[in-house]
Amino acid sequence: MSNTENAYRDLTLDPSLYALDSKELNFFKSQTGINNDEELKAHIFAVQAKAFAVYPYPCIQGFRFAKLKIGRLFAYDEFLRLGRERKGAIYLDMGCCFGNDARLAVADGYPIENVITSDLNPEFWDLGHELFKSTPESFPVPFIAGDIFDPSHIVPSPPSTVTPSDPHPDLKALKSLTPLHGRISAIHASAFFHLFDEDHQRQAAQQLAALLSPEPGSMIFGQHVGLPQRGVRPNFRRQMFCHSPQSWKELWDGVVFAKGNVDVVASVRDVTRRINPNGATGRAVQKMLGEEPVYVLEWYIKRVDPEAPPQHHTPAVLTEAKEQTSDPEKSYRDLPLDPSLYSLEGRDLEFFKRQTMITDDEELKAHILTVQAEAFKVHPYPCIRSFNFTRLKIGRLFAYEDFLTLGRERTGAIYLDIGCCFGNDARLAVKDGYPIENIITSDINPEFWDLGHKLFKSTPESFPVPFLAGDIFDPAHLAPSPPSTKPPLGPAPDLKTLTSLTHLHGRISAIHASAFFHLFDEAHQLQVARQLAALLSPEPGSLIFGQHVGALQMGFRRKMFCHSPESWKALWDGEVFEKGSVHVDARVRDVTRLTDPNSAIGRNVRMLAGDGPVYLLEWCVKRV
């Protein structure tokens, strides 16, 4: 028995740690056919007990095995696109456990015939069939048991530089992963690397690198426990070596792969700041990792052509804004609409089909193009021309699950979607369980809200979310006020009777604002932040969250003022709110690294932002 196993063997199971969010609950119900919540819970408990007897991983005790990790990763959509667009793109789920992530990928469209899985413990894969009530015939994904460090499972080899010319082997006939050297297009490895010490993390990285195809765009991605600075995290049971984003990048680009052969993106976040320590998830994290802050390192490694000229790696030049010489509205209005920019895929496509009841792809496309043309006449926003209005932004944000939990657990938690446009994000939130009676929306253009009903084939009766038209800078719509320090007296007003947002000062539990702040200059971004802060409830856990165009360093991108993560945090914590009264999580990512420049989405990004990298600032401001 290993020291690690000894450290965990005295753990006991705790049913109170069970907590499936709405997405996970719906996924398990659809996969198992068990629709009764208590029956499903009992079924998961029974499988958990069997799995814990196989190996006492803390993630089994804390029900982390029931989380759909892969679907929350920022590389997930790019991964699904790779599976659709590259013929025979093999996907390996390493350390797959019960196979949750492989099952979600298949459900979201990854070709099942190109999926293979591996884990040290074959009993977990068998329990996966029991957990999801499947069989090797109903879910025919091959599984290979083996130790990643065992040369009979994967023979050590340097990364491939030439794509194998012979056909791929039959995945179902494989006895080891060695025949897949240089053939795998995508490898997912979450909650995996942190199981090993520093040297074995390097070895595991080298083993996976040997399997990865040299074709540009091939990727390895995942998440695991990390630290802002590399070192040993004192786990409550054992010492855990953790990489930082910087050391993780240096490991892959220069040690595992030759320098310049891969693009590495890595970021770290403190998950303990985002969860209720007294909730089931918070207690599960504490049981697994103790009382210290828990940082998760999320990352992806993508093969690039080392001979190709570098793209999107030069930071945007941030200079003083030049005098505007043309009317941007006129320049966009003069552009013709381009149907080739339409690219509705995966979860977005499924959502639109369910909401509109239009199941034929071409009919749905024609319907969306019709609404797009009407919307572009209202206001020629670039996001309308580029079909970004069809993206479900809110569901991809790291704060989304906290937001849904707030809606479930806090009585009467009002949610405002500001700059809501057609209301896509409010509709997704309702589908995912946010109480519809607690939602209100607002936009400067009421025509967009009306077009939202047309887009989704709804009516004010079938989707009875109140909408308030107004300019956020208009005191008749929202009177300026400092942030509340005490909850307002008396009950909240009836949302359906409101004529302005002023009546909600200090009463709103959650505000979502995506693709909104970057519409304004620096001074007006500060003013918007103060207006939203006035609406936010002082109750701890109340949050404002979203994403918009940002930068690595505060300044101007073309003629657009952009905050950096540091300047965004300083704005909210100390200028908008009193210092220390909020926690601000902000991170920036280069979205051009995650998109094929020749795809519809890639051309959309180029059309919106021109040459150079495009950075998105994703953020959450939470009252403490």
Distance, CA of 114 to chain centre = 24
Of 570, 523, 521, 550, residue with least CA distance to 318: 550
Tell me if the domain spanning 70-303 has CATH number 3.40.50.150. yes
pLDDT of residue 273: 54
Domain positions in the chain are: 70-303, 393-623
pLDDT of residue 7: 46
Of 589, 571, 572, residue with least CA distance to 581: 572
124-137 pLDDT, tens per residue? Answer: 999 999 999 999 99
475-526 pLDDT, tens per residue? Answer: 999 999 999 999 998 899 999 999 999 999 999 999 999 999 999 999 999 9
> What is the end-to-end Cα distance of the chain in Å, rounded?
44
pLDDT of residue 380: 84
Say what the pTM is: 0.60
Q: Enumerate the β-bridge partners of residue 233.
A: 240
**pLDDT under 70: residue ranges of the chain:** 1-11, 234-238, 272-291, 307-335, 558, 592-612
DSSP-assigned letters across all residues of 106-140: HHTT--GGGEEEEES-HHHHHHHHHHHT--TTTS-
pLDDT of residue 237: 55
Dihedral Cα 191, 194, 196, 202, nearest 10 deg: 100
pLDDT of residue 612: 65
What are the structure tokens assigned to 8, written together? Answer: 């965990």
Of 471, 623, 425, residue with least CA distance to 534: 623
Do 70-303 and 393-623 fold alike per CATH?
A: yes
d(CA 421, CA 445): 8
> Which distant-in-sequence residues (6+ apart) come within 8 Å of 260 by Cβ?
253, 304, 306
Distance, CA of 275 to chain centre = 16
The CATH fold of domain 393-623: Rossmann fold (3.40.50)
